[in-house]
Structure 1
Amino acid sequence: MVSTFHGIETAKRSLFAQMAGMNTTGHNIANASTPGYSRQVVGLIASRPLAMPGMYNSISPGQLGTGVEVNYIKRVRDQFLDQQYWNANRSLGDWEVQAGTLSKLETIFNEPSESGLTTVIDNFWKAWSEFSKDPENVTSRKIVRENALAMAEAFNETSKKITDMQADLTQGINVNADHINTLTTQVAQLNYEINRIEGFRDNANDLRDQRDLIIDELSRMANVTVVEEETGYRVTVGGLELVAGDAAVPVTPAQLETAYASNGLNSGELFGIIKSRDGIVKDYLDQLNELANTIANGDVSITIPAGSVLPEGTVLNGVTYSGTTRTLTADTTVTVKGLNGLHKLGYLFTSPAQAAGDFFSSKGGGPITAATFSVNNAIVQDPNKIASSLRVVAGTNGDEVVKGNNTLALLMSQLRERPFTFNAIASNNGITTGTVDDYYRAVMGQLGVQSREALRQQDNNQLLVDQVDSRRQSVSGVSLDEEMSNLIKLQHSYGAASRFMTTVDQNLDKIINSMGIVGR
Structure 2
Amino acid sequence: MEVKIYTHGSCKIREAGSKNMSGLFDTFTIAKRGLNVNQGAINTTSHNIANANTEGYSRQRAVAETTKPFGGMSRFDTCSVGQVGTGAEITSIQRIRDYFIDYQVRSETGTSGFYTQASETLYKVEDILGEPSDKGIQQLTNNFFNAFQEVSKNGNKANVKTVAIQSAASLADAINYAYNQLEKTRDDSQKLLQTNVIDVNSYLNQINELNKQIKGISAVGQVPNDLMDKRDLLVDKLSNKFGIKLDRDSFETINLSSTEYPNASLVKSDPNDINYNRLSYVKGAKVESDGGAFKLTVEYYPLGNEQAAVKSFTVKGTNKSDLDEIKDSMLQNRILLADKDGNAMTETVATKATSTTPGRSIVEIPALADGSHTVDTKVTEDGAIAITIGSSTISRDKDGVITNSTSYSVTNNSDGTMYIKLNSDLTIKVEKDGSIAVPAESFTADISTNAQAKLSLKKAIFQTYKYDSDRDSEGNTVNSVDNKNVKGDIAANQSVQDNIKEYMDNLDRLAAGLAYSVNAIQTGSIKGTDASGNVITSQGLSGNLIFVTYDESTQKNKSIDDGITAKNIRINKDLITDPQKLNCSTTSTSGEGDALRAKAIANLNILKMNLSSVANTEDLSTWDREKFLKQIGINTTSTASGFTDSTCLSLNTGTDGSTVDSYYKTMVNNIGVIKQESDRIAANQETILANLQEQKSEVSGVSLDEEMTNLIQFQHAYQANAKIISTVNELLDVVINGLKR
Band of TM-score, shorter chain: 0.7 to 0.9
Matched AA of 2:550: K
Counterpart CA distance in 2 for 1:54 and 1:234 is 48
Counterpart CA distance in 2 for 1:8 and 1:423 is 91
> 1:388 — aligned with what?
584
1:508 Cα deviation (Å)? 1.4
The answer for unaligned runs of 5 or more in structure 2 is 1-19, 282-334, 338-460, 469-478, 526-538, 552-557, 618-654
Question: Are the equivalent residues in 2 in contact too, given 1:343–1:358 (CA < 8 A)?
Answer: yes
> 1:13 — aligned with what?
33
Question: Are the equivalent residues in 2 in contact too, given 1:422–1:432 (CA < 8 A)?
Answer: no
Question: Are the equivalent residues in 1 in contact too, given 2:137–2:171 (CA < 8 A)?
Answer: yes
**Deviation sequence 1:320-345 (CA, Å, 0-9, x none):** xxxxxxxxxxxxxxxxxx11111112
Q: 1:406 aligns with which of 575, 591, 595?
A: 595
> 2:489 — aligned with what?
269
* Secondary structure class of the residue paired with 1:191: helix
> 2:210 — aligned with what?
190
Matched AA of 1:290: R
TM-score under structure 2 normalisation?
0.60
Q: Aligned ranges for residues 8-407 of structure 1 at < 5 Å? A: 8-51=28-71, 56-230=76-250, 232-237=253-258, 238-239=260-261, 240-245=264-269, 246=271, 249-253=277-281, 254-255=335-336, 257-260=461-464, 262=468, 263-264=479-480, 266-277=486-497, 279-297=498-516, 338-345=517-524, 353-364=540-551, 366-391=562-587, 400-407=589-596
Q: Residues 134 and 464 (structure 1 numbering): CA distance in 2 closer, same or farther, change over 3 Å?
A: same
Counterpart CA distance in 1 for 2:685 and 2:613 is 34
* Secondary structure class of the residue paired with 2:132: coil
Q: 1:503 aligns with which of 721, 727, 730?
A: 727
Q: 1:461 aligns with which of 675, 681, 685?
A: 685
Question: Are the equivalent residues in 1 in contact too, given 2:96–2:699 (CA < 8 A)?
Answer: yes
Q: Mean alpha-carbon deviation: is it higher for 48-57 or for 362-371?
A: 48-57
1:54 Cα deviation (Å)? 12
**Deviation sequence 1:8-66 (CA, Å, 0-9, x none):** 21111110001111111121122222221111111111111233899953241123321
> 1:450 — aligned with what?
674
Matched AA of 2:268: A
* Secondary structure class of the residue paired with 1:362: strand
1:217 Cα deviation (Å)? 0.7
Question: Are the equivalent residues in 2 in contact too, given 1:356–1:386 (CA < 8 A)?
Answer: no
Counterpart CA distance in 2 for 1:425 and 1:489 is 77
Q: Residues 380 and 258 (structure 1 numbering): CA distance in 2 closer, same or farther, change over 3 Å?
A: farther
1:367 Cα deviation (Å)? 1.7
**Deviation sequence 1:66-125 (CA, Å, 0-9, x none):** 111111111111101110111111000000011111110111011111221112212111
Structure possessing the higher relative contact order (Cα contacts under 8 Å, 6 or more residues apart): 1
Counterpart CA distance in 1 for 2:518 and 2:203 is 56
Counterpart CA distance in 2 for 1:43 and 1:469 is 26
Matched AA of 2:499: I
Greater fraction of residues in helix? 1
Counterpart CA distance in 2 for 1:51 and 1:30 is 42
Q: Aligned ranges for residues 428-439 of structure 1 at < 5 Å? A: 433-439=657-663
Q: Residues 432 and 201 (structure 1 numbering): CA distance in 2 closer, same or farther, change over 3 Å?
A: farther
1:3 Cα deviation (Å)? 4.1
The answer for unaligned runs of 5 or more in structure 1 is 298-337, 347-351, 393-399
Q: Residues 491 and 433 (structure 1 numbering): CA distance in 2 closer, same or farther, change over 3 Å?
A: same
Question: Are the equivalent residues in 2 in contact too, given 1:98–1:273 (CA < 8 A)?
Answer: yes
Which structure: larger Rg? 1
Question: Are the equivalent residues in 2 in contact too, given 1:242–1:251 (CA < 8 A)?
Answer: no
Counterpart CA distance in 2 for 1:504 and 1:189 is 51
Q: Residues 56 and 382 (structure 1 numbering): CA distance in 2 closer, same or farther, change over 3 Å?
A: same
Counterpart CA distance in 1 for 2:74 and 2:218 is 41
RMSD in angstroms over aligned alpha carbons? 2.4
**Deviation sequence 1:487-515 (CA, Å, 0-9, x none):** 22212211111111111111112222222
The yes-or-no answer on 1:477 pairing with 2:701 is: yes
Counterpart CA distance in 1 for 2:577 and 2:243 is 57
Counterpart CA distance in 2 for 1:102 and 1:15 is 62
Question: Are the equivalent residues in 2 in contact too, given 1:17–1:70 (CA < 8 A)?
Answer: yes
Counterpart CA distance in 1 for 2:682 and 2:593 is 60
* Secondary structure class of the residue paired with 1:243: coil
1:385 Cα deviation (Å)? 2.1
Q: 2:710 aligns with which of 468, 486, 497?
A: 486
Question: Are the equivalent residues in 2 in contact too, given 1:90–1:221 (CA < 8 A)?
Answer: yes
**Deviation sequence 1:255-284 (CA, Å, 0-9, x none):** 26443353545421000000012x111111
Matched AA of 2:503: Y
Counterpart CA distance in 2 for 1:9 and 1:432 is 96
Matched AA of 2:685: N
1:432 Cα deviation (Å)? 6.8
Counterpart CA distance in 1 for 2:66 and 2:709 is 23
1:426 Cα deviation (Å)? 4.8
Question: Are the equivalent residues in 2 in contact too, given 1:356–1:387 (CA < 8 A)?
Answer: no
1:227 Cα deviation (Å)? 1.2
Counterpart CA distance in 1 for 2:232 and 2:64 is 26
Counterpart CA distance in 2 for 1:53 and 1:85 is 50
Counterpart CA distance in 1 for 2:27 and 2:229 is 39
Question: Are the equivalent residues in 2 in contact too, given 1:93–1:269 (CA < 8 A)?
Answer: yes
The yes-or-no answer on 1:424 pairing with 2:613 is: yes
Question: Are the equivalent residues in 1 in contact too, given 2:162–2:576 (CA < 8 A)?
Answer: no
1:191 Cα deviation (Å)? 0.7
TM-score under structure 1 normalisation?
0.84
* Secondary structure class of the residue paired with 1:420: coil
Counterpart CA distance in 2 for 1:191 and 1:11 is 39
